[in-house]
Structure formats: C-alpha cells, structure tokens
Structure 1
Amino acid sequence: MEDNKSELDQLSDKILKGMTEASRKLVEESAAKGRSLVISEGGEVKRVPAKELLSRVSTKA
C-alpha cells in the first residue's frame, strides 16, 4: 500500500511538472508572437498580454 502511494505521489509530481513546463512554453511562445492569453484572476476573466504574464512568472521564479 505504501509503495502505491509513493508511486502515485511520483506520478502526480511528474504531471504537475509537465503542466508547469507546458504552461510556461505557451506563455513564452505567445509573448514572442505578441499575443494575449485569457486568464481568470480573482474570479474575473481577463485578456492579458502574454508579455505581461511572462514578466509576472519571471519575477516569481
């Protein structure tokens, strides 16, 4: 049972890492093309320039 939990934790970590990398790639490519992305911020749907999102992510990293 403990091995299954460990495997599940490892799988979850891999999935989250992959999703994070894919999201960053999307923002980087969109910023390079001068595009905007639609996000939800505080329950409000907004269209934000990808360059702005990239700068937000870069300051958090």
Structure 2
Amino acid sequence: MTKFGLLYSGRAMALDDINTSSFSPNTSFGERILYGVQKALRKLAEETAMKGGSLVVKIDGEIKEVPAKELLKTLPEQGG
C-alpha cells in the first residue's frame, strides 16, 4: 500500500461520524487508531479529488505528487 507523507492544514475530522460500535470488544486500541487514520486519509483524498487537486505521497522511497483521483483508485473502500 502507498505510504503517505501528507501535510494537511484543513479542518479537523469530526469524531462523531466514526461508529465505534462496529468494533468487536477484542479490537485493540492500535487497530482502532489505524482504522481512524485510514478513514481520515481516504476522506482527504476524496475531498481533494472533488477539487481536482493532488497529494504528495512516498512511493518506493520516492516522493511524488499524484492527482487525488488516481490515488483514490489505489485505496481500499471504507465500510462505515
């Protein structure tokens, strides 16, 4: 998966829209954090794509500017 090296100064993601009841009681804190970060990165890519923008990513050790629409094609769908 692509590693992100993102600098984002936009508005903070509201925690209200994260449904924590979907996690099993055995889900670790680290897994919950990872889920939140992945969801935030997808949201960033979606909002940037709507504006026709690009994001800076690190691919195979090389820093590149990638159109957000292209980046979205490589990200997994978020379910909830």
Same fold (TM over 0.5): yes
TM-score range, shorter chain: 0.7 to 0.9
Give unpaired runs (5+ residues) of structure 2.
Answer: 1-26
Q: TM-score, normalised by structure 2?
A: 0.59
Higher relative contact order (CA 8 A, sep 6+): 2
Give unpaired runs (5+ residues) of structure 1.
Answer: 1-8
Q: Which whole-Å deviations, capped at 9, do the CAs of 1:14-55 have from their partners, x for residues lacking one?
A: 100000100000000000110000000010000000000011
Equivalent residue, structure 2, for 1:4: none
**What amino acid is aligned across from residue 53 of structure 1 in structure 2?**
L
Answer 1 or 2: which has greater helix percent: 1
Structure with higher Rg: it is 1
Q: TM-score, normalised by structure 1?
A: 0.76
Q: Percent identity?
A: 49
- Provide runs of 4+ in structure 1 moved above 6 Å: none
